Amino acid sequence: MKKILIIVFALISFLAFAEGMLIEAVADEANISFEDEEFSANGGLKAQYEDVKIQANRIKKVKDKNIIIAYDKILFSQQDQNIEADELRLRLDDKVAIVKDGKSFTKVSGEAKAPHDRLFYGGEKFEARFPNKAIVKNGYFSTCSNIIEDKNSADYRIESKKIVVYIGKRVVAYNSFLYIKKIPVLWFPVYVTSLKSSVDGAPLFPRFGSDKDGSYVIWGLDYGEDDSKYLNGSAAVKWSTKKGWVLDSWHNAYTIEKGKNAGVTSFRDTYLWPKEGYDKEWKFTHTHSYSSNNGQLDWEYQNNSTSSLNDDTKKYLNEKGQSEEKKVSIYKLKSNFTKVPTLFPPFILNPILKKYPSFEDYAKNGEYSIMTNVEWTDEEDVMREIGNKQDDDGEDQIVGYVKPDRKILLEGKLDKREKQDRYDYSLYYKRLKDLNPGNSVNDTASYDRTQRYSLNLKKYKVSLGYESIDKDEYRTLSTIEREALRRVERDSITNEIIENTSGEAIYLNPNYKDIETVKRYDIIKNENYKINIGSYEIFKTGLKWNAGYSNTESVKKLNGDSYIDAEGEVKYFNDYHETGVITEEGNNNLTYNLGFNYSKTSLGLNYSEVESYTKKNSELEGMPQENISETFKQYGGRISNRDIDLKKYGTLGLTYEYAKDIFKEKDERYKNHYDIGYGKELYNNIGDPYSPFDLKLNNQVGYKYTVYTYDLAKREEDTTDSTKTKEAYMKERLNSSYRMNKVYTDTLTTDLGNTRTTYNFTLDESYNGYYYALDDLELLESRNLNNNVTFNIDNKKYFYFSVANSDNYNERSPKKPAFKNRDSDVYTYELHDERYGKFTYSTSNVISKTEKVSISNPDDTYMSARTKTLGDKYGYSFKDWTLNYSDSNTRGRNYDENGDPLENTETIKTNITSKNTKVLGVVFNHGEIINRNISFDYEIYRDKMQKINDKNTLKFNLRFTDKRDELEEQIDKIKNRYVDEENQDKFVLTEKERNKILEMLMEENKNDLNFNLIGALEQASNDSKTKLGKLKEYKIELELVNYEDYRKKHDYGSSMSNLVAGWSVLYHQFFFSYKYTQAKDPFYKKSVTTPDAHYHYTKRLHYNEGRYSFGKNNSWNVKYNMHFDDSIKDRKNLSSSKNKKLKKYEIGVEKYFHCTLLGLTYSQELVDEGIYETLWTFKFGLLTFPEKKLGLQRTRSDGEYTIEQYLGM
C-alpha cells in the first residue's frame, strides 16, 4: 500500500486550501479535485491543523471560506477530546466543529477508576468548542459504555433536548428523561451532574441518608462558566436532625491567568450555627499557585477547629489537659524564582516628561533568584499531642488532620547577579522548630537556626562570606530498639504481664515507650567568617596572586541517653558502649592563605591558629574517657604542577605540601606530603595503514607519601611537666588522625583491535605516626592491596578478576610483636558471554582478633579472642536461569592472659564458637504469554558449639501466568473480521502461526500509535466494559525457619520459629488465596502451671480470601475474606477465649453491569476482648460516580449500633 503525502502551504495562493494543513492519504488510490478543493480516498484520509486531527474518507474546503467539511466515517480529535460522526464542519478561524450524528466521551476525574472513568454522550447535532465545552441538541449521555453501539442497549441513559458538557467540570441537561433500558422512569426539567467523581463532592442532585448525626439530606450545585475567572466550583449544604444546618462542602477555583496564576478555596463540614449542645466546627483550606517562565509560588492555608476531630481524639486531648474549644491554623508558602529583574530605578516617575521606567530600566541593575519555604502552625501543644496519638498497632490515628510536623519553618534564599557582572550576593536564612523530628532524611532536627551571607565584588575580585549553624540531630529507631522500648515486665513462669496497682502494664523503659525517634546529637554549632581576594596579575607578567581569610568555631556533642534492651542490659542509643567513639568535639580555626599561579604551576602559603578538643571513649575497654586538646599555630605551603610535558617521555605531575605546627609550649609538629604522577603512551599504531593490527598501550603510575614528625627540644622549660615523658607529649600531639601514609597506584591500558584490557594496582599503607616520629619505626596499622584486570570486547565487559587484601593492626608498642586484629583476603572472578551466560565467583578469608588489657599487668595487653571466617560465593546466570550459592564458616576461640585457650562451661558457652552458613538460591523466569517465575532460597545455619541454635530457613515463591486464553479471544476477533463466515471453519492456523500472531498481539499491546483514530470510541467503550478476563495465574509462597535440635527429636512443629505459607489461584472466574503467618519462641520454658505449653506463639495469623465470578461477562461476584488469630495469649488457661480470636470475616455478593454495581456484604470485626463490630452494607450505584448510590449499612460506634442510609443521584 502506497502513501501519498501532500503538504499545502500558503505559498500556493491560488489553491489556498488551508494554510499549514497536512493531509496524508493511506489508500491504493486517492482523488484530488483542484477545482472543488476536495480530497477523497477510499482507504481514508488523515488531516492535521495545529492541534486538530481529522480522519475521514472525504475532506473538502468551502470556497472562499475558512471552513473544512469532512464526510463518511469521521474521527475528530482535539487535544484529549475525540468525536465519531457522519459529517463534520470545522471553522479553522476558531476551530469550532459542528457535528452531525456524533458520539464522544469525556474523562471523569476523582475517585473513578479506569476503565470506568468516562462519560459517553452523543446526539443529533452538536457544537464542539473543545477543549472547553460541547453543546448537544437532542442528545443523550450515560456512563454505560455500550451506549456507543446502541443507545437502547445501555443499562440507563438520560435523553435531553439540550445537553451542555463542560469538559472536566459538569454536565447540564435540559428537559430530560431518565431511561432504565428502554423504559422512561423520571423527568427532570434540569439535571446537573459533576464530572469530578467523589463521595465527598457536592451532589448536584439530593443525597439522602442517616448517620450518627441523625437523618440528613445533602444537596449542592456547580457554578461558573468558561469565561468566569473567579467563580468556578461547587457548593453543598447539609441538614441533619441532630446538628442542624451545615456547609457540607464549598470549593471555589479562581484563575487570574490560565495555567499560571490560580487557586482554590474550600470549606468542609462547617457547622457555623449548630443546634444547642453542639460546638461550632469548620475545616477551611486555601491554596494558590503562581507560575511564570521564571519560577513558581505555592501557598496553602488551613484553619480547622479541634471540635471537628472525632470523639476519640477529642477525649484524648481532654485527658492530656488540652481544650477541644480551639482552632488550629497551618500556613505554608513555597517559592522558587530565577532571573527576576531588579526594580531599578525604584519606581521613579518624571512628572514633567511623564516618563515611566521600562522593563529594560528595571533589568538594568541585574536579576534575582529567590527561594522561600515557610510553614507555621499555631496551638503547638494541641498539635504535638495529636501528633503523638497512635492506635493499638502503633500507627498514626488522627481523623481530619495530616500528622503535624513543624511549629515554624522560615527558610529563604536571595541571590543577586548584577547585569554587568560587577558583583553578586547571596542571603540565606532558616529557622525551624519541629514537633516530630527524625522521620526522614530531610527532617532530622527539632530546631535549626542557620544563616549564610556572601558578597562577591567581581569587579574588584573580592568575596565575603558568613555562616552560622545551630541545631540538633535526630534519627529513627531501629526495629530492635522499638521492640526493646515497648517491652513490659512479665512473670518468669506464666509470662503474664505484670501490672501496677492501677492495673496498667509496667514498662521497662517508661520514658521511651512511645517514641519513634531519638536524638543523635544534642548540639551541632558552627560559625564561620571568610574573605577572599584575587586573583590579580602582577605587571602583566602572567604571574597571578590571591589571598584569603577564614575563622571557624564549631562544636558537636553526641547524645548519651541509654535504655534497657531485650536482654535486660543497659544500651546506649548512640554507640556509647563502643570503644573509640567520639562523644564531643570542638574546634576554633583561624586561617590566612596566599596563593600564586603561573602557567600550570601553583604555589599556596597558609597560616592557621587552631584550638581543638576531643572527648571519646578509651580504645581499651575499662579505661576512663580520653580528653585530648590541642592549641597550635600552623605554617604551611603547597606547590603543584600536574601537567609537566616531557615530550616523548610522557607527562609528569608533582605536588609537595608542607605544614609546621607550633604549640603554645613551643614544641613543634611537621607534615610532609609528596604526590607524584607519571603517564606515558608506550605504543600506538592506530591509524597506521601498514600495521596488521591496531595496538595502543598506556601506563599511569602514582605515588603519594605523607609523614609527620615531632620536635620536643624547643619546648619551654617552664611549660614542661617533669612527670611527663617525651613519649607522652608526642602521643598527645600525634593522635590517630596523624598517620604516616603511602599509596602506590598503577594503571596499564592495552587497546588491541576492538578489545581493551585494563590492569589496576593499588597499595595503600598507613603507619603509626607516633612511633615513626619517636624512633623512625614504620609500625604498620593498615594495609589495603587491590589488583584487578578487566577485559572488554566492543566496550562490553567480558572478563574481570580481582585480588584484594586488607590488614588492620591495633595500636601497639615496638616492644611487642606485631598484633594484627583483622586480615581479609577476597578474590573475585567474573566471566560475561552472551552465548554462555555470566559466571561470578568470589572467595574470602577474614581473621579478626580482640585485645584486652591484662589484669595482672595493666601496662600490657593480650589476645583475648580470635575469629576466622572463610566464605565462598558462586553465581551463574544464563537466559532464564540465575543460580547463587554461598558457604561461610566461622570459627572463634577465647584465650586467657597466658595465651591458653578457654573451654566452654555450663554458664559460658561462647569461649569456643564454630558456625557454618550455607545459602542456595535459584531463580527461573521465562516467557511473556506463558510466564513461569520460580525463586528458591534455602539457608542452613549450624552452630556446632550450641546445637540448639541450629536452624534451616527456606523461602520459595512460584508464579505461573497464562495469557493464552485472553489472546486467543483476540485471534478469534481477527478471524471474524477478516475471514468470510463460510470459510471460518477452513481457516486453521498451525501452532507456529498462532504463536507468531500471539507474539505480534503482545507487541501491539505495548505500542501506542501516534495518529490512528480508527475505533477510538469503540476502544474506549471496550475498555469500559467489565472484564474479569480469562487470565490464569497461580502463586505459592513459603518461608520457613526450622530449629534443627527440635527436628531431630521428632518435634517438628515446635521447632518452627517463623513460618509464612500461602498460595493463590486465579483461573478465569475463580480466585482463592490463603496465607498463614507464624512467629514464636521455640525455647520458651515449660512451667508447672502450663506443662503442655512448651513453646510460645507470638503470632499465628490466618488470611483467607475467595471470589467466584459467573454469569454473562462474569458480571456476578461472590466473595469472602477472613482473618483469624489463634496465638496463645493466656498461658494459665489454654482454653481461654483470649487464645483463639476470629479477627474479621466478611462475605458478600456483587453484580457488575456495564456501568453499575449492586452489592450486599456482611462482616464482623473484633474491636475489643469479646466485642465484635457488626457491619452489613447494601448498595446500588454507578462505577463512575461512587456517590451516586442507593444503600444502607449497619455500624457500631461508641458502644452503640447505628444504621447509615444513603441515596444519591
pLDDT score, position 812: 59
Per-residue pLDDT tens over the stretch 841-861: 999 999 888 877 777 777 777
- Residue 1132's CB is within 10 A of a number of other CB atoms, namely 14
Residue 573 — pLDDT band, cuts 50, 70, 90? confident
Cα angle 139, 141, 145 (rounded to 5 degrees) comes to: 130
| Percent of the chain residues topping a pLDDT of 70 | 71
Q: Is 1114 left (phi over 0), alpha (psi -120 to 50) or beta?
A: left
Residue (of 480, 472, 662, 640) closest to 558 by Cα position = 472
Which helix (DSSP H) or strand (DSSP E) does residue 972 occupy? helix 964-978
Tell me the per-residue pLDDT of 228-251, one tens digit each, with 9 for 90 and over.
Answer: 788 877 788 888 887 778 888 888
Please give the C-alpha separations between residue 1121 and each of 4, 525, 1029, 1072, 1118, in angstroms, as whole numbers. Answer: 60, 56, 22, 10, 11
C-alpha cell at 546: 590571591
Query: Can you spell out the DSSP letters for 152-173?
Result: GGSSEEEEEEEEEEETTTEEEE
Listed in sequence order, the residues at least 6 apart from 839 whose beta carbon sits closer than 8 Å to its beta carbon are 829, 830, 831, 875, 876
pLDDT attached to residue 706: 94
Q: pLDDT confidence of 346, banded at 50, 70, 90? A: very low
Best CA proximity match to 666, nearest among 622, 619, 720, 614: 720
pLDDT bracket for residue 391 (50, 70, 90)? very low
Q: What is the pLDDT of residues 922-933, one digit of tens each?
A: 999 988 778 889
Nearest by Cα to 1061 from 955, 1139, 951? 955
In sequence order, what are the residues at sequence separation of 6 or more whose Cβ sits closer than 8 angstroms to the Cβ of residue 732? 628, 630
Quick check: 1010 pLDDT over 50? Answer: no
Can you tell me the mean pLDDT for 767-775?
Answer: 78
956 to 37, 193, 847: CA distances (angstroms): 70, 51, 34
Residue 33 has pLDDT above 70, yes or no: no
Phi/psi for 974 (5° steps) reads -65, -45
Question: What is the pTM assigned to this prediction?
Answer: 0.64
CA distance 104 to 88: 13
1191 alpha-carbon distance from chain centroid = 39
Q: Interior CA angle at 771 toward 769 and 777, to 5°?
A: 105
Specify which residues 340 forms β-bridges with.
Answer: 368
The whole-number pLDDT of residue 1135 equals 58
Look at residue 120 in the predicted model and tell me its pLDDT. Answer: 87
- pLDDT tier, 726 (very low <50, low <70, confident <90, very high otherwise): confident
Q: Count helices and strands (H / E) in the chain.
A: 10, 59
**What pLDDT, on the 0 to 100 scale, is given for residue 987?**
60
Chain mean position to CA 676: 44
Q: Say how far apart CA 308 and CA 271 lie, in whole Å.
A: 9
Mean pLDDT of the chain: 77
Q: pLDDT digit string (tens) for 528-541?
A: 999 999 899 998 88
Confidence at 1120, pLDDT banded by 50, 70, 90: confident
> Could you read off the pLDDT of 695-705 as tens digits, one per residue?
889 999 999 99
Q: Cell triple for residue 377?
A: 502552625
DSSP 106: E
Taking each helix axis as running N to C, give the angle between helix 311-319 and helix 380-388, from 0 to 180 degrees, rounded to the nearest 10.
110
CA distances to 317, 642, 680, 751, 784 from 748, rounded to whole Å, are 71, 19, 10, 10, 20
Which value, to the nearest 10 degrees, does the dihedral of the CA atoms of residues 149, 152, 155, 158 take?
A: 110
CA distance 363 to 345: 9
The DSSP call for residue 1137 is G
Q: What is the C-alpha to C-alpha distance for residues 825 and 806, in angstroms, rounded to an integer? A: 6
Tens digit of each residue's pLDDT (9 = 90 or more) over 405-436? 677 888 989 888 876 778 889 999 999 988 77
What residue segments make up the domains of the chain, in order of their start?
3-141, 217-293+295-337, 665-806, 964-1023
pLDDT for the residue numbered 1198: 45
Spatial distance between the Cα atoms of 165 and 171, rounded to a whole number of angstroms: 5
**Do residues 87 and 174 lie in contact, with contact meaning Cβ atoms separated by under 8 Å?**
no
Percent of the chain as helix, strand, coil, to the nearest 5: 10, 60, 30
Residue 906: DSSP 8-state: S
Instruction: Quote the crossing angle between the two packed helices 964-978 and 991-1006, to the nearest 10°.
Output: 100
Choose the most confident range, by mean pLDDT, from 571-585, 1036-1050, 1104-1118: 1104-1118
> Cβ(328)–Cβ(317) under 8 Å?
no
pLDDT tens-place string over residues 1075-1103: 888 877 655 544 434 444 444 666 778 88
Query: In sequence order, what E strands does 258-366 have?
Result: 261-271, 281-292, 295-305, 327-341
Q: In a 3-state reduction of DSSP, which class is residue 876? A: strand
Written as nine digits, the cell of 1114 is 462474569
- pLDDT value at position 402? 39
Residue whose cell numbers read 442542624: 244
DSSP string, 80-93: TEEEEEEEEEEETT
Measured between alpha carbons, how far is 610 from 659 in angstroms, rounded to an integer? 13
**All three cell numbers of 1133:** 488457661
CA 564 – CA 569 distance, rounded (Å): 5
Listed residue (88, 98, 184) closest to 134, CA to CA = 98
Residue linked to cell 479553522: 92
Helix (H), strand (E), coil (C) string for 746-770: EEEEEEECCEEEEEEEEEEEEECHH
Q: How many CB atoms lie within 10 A of CB 128?
A: 26
For the record, the C-alpha cell of 1018 comes out as 469503540
DSSP-derived 3-state class of residue 143: coil
Omega prior to 345 cis, within 30 of 0:
yes
Return the CATH superfamily for domain 3-141. Answer: Lipopolysaccharide (LPS) transport protein A like domain (2.60.450.10)
Give the count of beta carbons closer than 10 Å to the beta carbon of residue 1060.
16
pLDDT band at 725 (very low <50, low <70, confident <90, very high): confident
Q: Does the pLDDT of residue 191 top 70, yes or no?
A: yes
All cell numbers assigned to 599: 602557567
Percent of the chain's residues with pLDDT above 90:
18
Closest CA to 674 of 651, 661, 657: 657
Work out the average pLDDT over 84-88.
85
* CA distance from start to end of the chain: 52
**Quick count: other Cβ atoms within 10 Å of Cβ 504?**
10
